[in-house]
Structure 1
Amino acid sequence: MLATALYASGPAVADPVALPSTASEAVQRMIDLSRQSEQLNQQALSAQDELDAKLAVQEEADAKLAATTQVADAARAEVRKFQPVIDRTAIATYQGARTNRMYAVLVSDSPQQLLDQMSTLDVLSAQTADQLKEFKKATDAAESAESAARAAADAARGAAEKADQVRADLERKRSELGGAIAQVIEAWSSLSVKDRSALAGSPFPPGFDRDTLLQGLVPGSGTSALAAGLTRVGDPYVWGATGPDKFDCSGLVQWAFKQVGKNVPRTSSAQASYGTPVSKENMQPGDVVFFYSDISHVGIYAGNGLMLHASTFGVPVAVAPMGTTPFHSARRY
């Protein structure tokens, strides 16, 4: 699939032994380097998507931590509200305070005084019981809130660590992509005008009939997305671009379907899980086609074994045969 002789240990490290000696070798080196950079581009885009997802989880975890901390603070404040009463009751009990009915009988001077004292004791006992009950309720709530806050803090910390790991991976991929892009541009610059023209090729293959292809166009269908994409034929390939006048492969697919109201994922690998699968034998114009084992290239099927795609640097958006690219799968959006 790739000219492995060009690289010793990774896609961004060129092998000086593999320098081209002929014009055809120079063009092939350009194609191979572009293929490597396209892979890195899709990997970097996937890492960015993963980072965005991790940051969303982190944001949610941080919000939950803030909410649970607020609940825990309120619960502790509720406990503190009951604490003086509970402390006084505990101290009175410890010091042997006499608050039972037998004590009232012993110290009463008259039946009325006895009734008054016993009534007061009943009220005090009921109040104390209620306060103890509320205190228990408040402490249980505080313990539960603090436990939730601790769990939220752990989750927030874990989410932040995962986001940091993905961020580091993204920066590494971006660095590798930058090096690969520089190599591609250098290789392209070394080509003659004739070779550049041959590399760019024709925007449409011989006999391609756009009007017949788009007959019976259904709004919002894959064919209408194909029609939108065909308006961008001739626009340049640019790594990471999503339009409206420059594209990478998955950016073109995303842009075309966005024009018909469908928000498809950004990367080719994510796009390969969107919609429903279609066999190669049953593909229709407007279906999305994927290539290579790592699903690092994507286009829109244009019928008769052709596809619309943003191919690679130096090659504008075009309709081209599918047969030169290893087919992986197809989806219908």
Structure 2
Amino acid sequence: MASQKMKRGSVSLRGALIAGTLSLSLVAMPALPAGADPVVANPTDALTKLTDLARESEQTNEALHNAKIDLDAKEAAQADADAAAVRDQGVVDEANARVAKFKPTVDKLAAANYQGARTNRLFAVMVSDSPQQLLDQMSALDAISNDTAKQVSQFTEATAEATAAAEASRKSADAARLAAEQARGLSDDLQKKQSELKSQIADVTAAFGDLTSSEKAQLAGRPFPPGFDAEALLSGLVPGNGASALQAGLTRVGSPYVWGATGPSEFDCSGLVVWAYKQIGKTLPRSSQAQASGGVAVPRDQLQPGDVVLFYNDASHVGLYAGNGNILHASTFGVPVKVESMASMPFYAARRY
């Protein structure tokens, strides 16, 4: 009995959530003539111009996010390479210190050999005046010989280690320089994209300002397609997976599209997906292209609510599958977050997180 009350309470809460979402969306969206299609129909030249400009800005916006991801990764690689170079140089310094420790002995031995020094047993016999003196002389020679041989061996080992360490240090230093150069290249590319996006945003907002009220209403469309029942959709979903991300995303219907925004009240396309999944404790990549590479691939005919769906041949747009061939997304400037048919865009791929 208690479980039935909890279930009824959960359904009521979900219903209230959807009702609130619908109310908010309907207030935020411009009024449309009865029966108007949610996809822009018979666009004017001004709408066509705006749509083209907005599409270009979205591509640049997502490319900008991707460039930032690449730059962050490259800067992390550069930091690792720099640290490795420092460690390797430390090994070189230690190896060189060992070489320096044994070098005097090796130098003395080399000098003695050059000067013809006699340090062998025959020489001991020749210069000894008594058996005891001979034994003492030979014992001393053995000690000198063993110690010298040991130090020569250690010198050889240390020299080999120093040579290997120097080569490793050279490689890590080269890797650090290469990583730094690549990071600088990505940073330059990022700045170029930022400048390009800024210019495109100015063009889009100017074109939007040229629209009439009816054109703006036509562009915005409806928050949901005809017949879309959010409460019925959510009532059969399993909590804790992509469906929960979709449920969170649906509460943002009516929020404006803003380049680079990740919520909670403004979004771009990948920003909405990131925000929705963040609400269920999952961190997704920031760009649509990176989102296209994560998760698990899902065929189009096996999509489930909450799956991440990518569009266009460069995966430059993304949204959350909302069932029955629909997508929840932050589509473009001038169009609030909404649910509409996937048929309005060319399908690229889908991923399940």
Q: TM-score, normalised by structure 1?
A: 0.90
CA distance in 2, matches of 1:278, 1:93: 78
Question: Which 5+ residue runs of structure 1 have no aligned equivalent?
Answer: 1-21
CA distance in 2, matches of 1:88, 1:265: 64
Q: CA RMSD in A?
A: 1.5
Give the match for residue 124 of structure 1.
Answer: 144
Indicate the structure whose relative CO is greater, using CA pairs within 8 Å and at least 6 residues apart.
Answer: 2
Cα offset, 1:225, TM superposition: 0.6
Deviation at 1:160, TM superposition (A): 1.3
Three-state SS of the structure 1 residue aligned to 2:235 is coil
Aligned residue in 1 for 2:316: 296
Tell me what 2:35 maps to: none
Q: How far did 1:183 drift?
A: 0.1
Is 2:111 the partner of 1:85? no
SS in structure 2 of the partner of residue 303 of structure 1: coil
Say which of 163, 167, 186 aligns to 2:187: 167
Would the alpha carbon gap of residues 102 and 214 (structure 1) be closer, same or farther in structure 2, given more than 3 Å must change? same
Q: Which SS does the other structure have where 1:236 is aligned?
A: coil
SS across alignment from 1:299 = strand
In structure 2, distance between residues paired with 1:305 and 1:114: 104
Is residue 2:331 matched to residue 1:311? yes
Deviates more, 1:198-207 or 1:101-110: 198-207
Given the alignment of the two structures, is residue 191 of structure 1 paired with residue 202 of structure 2, yes or no?
Answer: no
Contact persistence 1:244–1:255 (CA under 8 A): yes
Q: Distance in 1 between matches of 2:77 and 2:115?
A: 55
CA distance in structure 1 between the aligned counterparts of 2:93 and 2:298, rounded to whole angstroms: 56
Deviation at 1:23, TM superposition (A): 8.2
| Amino acid corresponding to residue 57 of structure 1 in structure 2 | A
Indicate how the Cα distance of structure 1 residues 181 and 163 shifts in structure 2: closer, same or farther if over 3 A, else same: same
Give distance in 2, aligned partners of 1:23 and 1:242.
Answer: 29
Conservation of the 8 A alpha-carbon contact between 1:307 and 1:322: yes
Q: How does 1:1-333 map to 2 (within 5 A)?
A: 24-333=44-353
CA distance in 2, matches of 1:304, 1:267: 26
- Cα distance in 2 for partners of 1:64, 1:26 equals 57
Give the stretch that moved more between structures: 202-211 or 266-275. 202-211
The answer to whether the 8 A contact 1:219-1:260 is kept is no
8 Å CA contact 1:23–1:191 kept in 2: the answer is: no
Q: Which moved more, 1:281-290 or 1:108-117?
A: 281-290
- The answer (yes or no) to whether the contact 1:61–1:152 under 8 Å persists in 2 is yes
Deviates more, 1:168-177 or 1:181-190: 168-177
1:301 to partner: Cα distance? 1.0
Measured against aligned partners, the alpha-carbon deviations of 1:33-65 in whole angstroms (never above 9, x if no partner) come to: 111100111111111111111111111111111
Identity within the alignment, % = 58
In 2, Cα distance between the equivalents of 1:135 and 1:23? Answer: 83
Partner Cα distance (1:136, 1:36) in 2: 65
| SS of structure 2 residue aligned to 1:290 | strand
| Alignment check: 8 A CA contact 1:309 1:318 kept | yes
Specify whether residues 43 and 260 from structure 1 end up closer, same or farther in structure 2 by C-alpha distance, changes over 3 A only.
Answer: same
**CA shift digits 1:275-322 (9 cap, x unpaired):** 222222222211221111111111111112211000101111111121
**Runs of 5+ in structure 2 lacking a partner?**
1-41
CA–CA separation in structure 2 for the residues paired with 1:281 and 1:260: 25
Between stretches 129-138 and 95-104, larger displacement belongs to 95-104
User: Given the superposition, is the C-alpha separation of residues 318 and 281 from structure 1 closer, same or farther in structure 2, using an over 3 Å criterion?
Assistant: same
Q: Determine helix, strand or coil for the equivalent of 1:208.
A: coil
Cα shift at 1:198: 2.5
> 1:23/1:98 Cα in 2 relative to 1: closer, same or farther (>3 Å)?
closer
Q: Quick check: 1:283–1:301 contact (8 Å CA) kept in 2?
A: yes
Deviation of 1:68 after TM superposition, in Å, equals 0.5
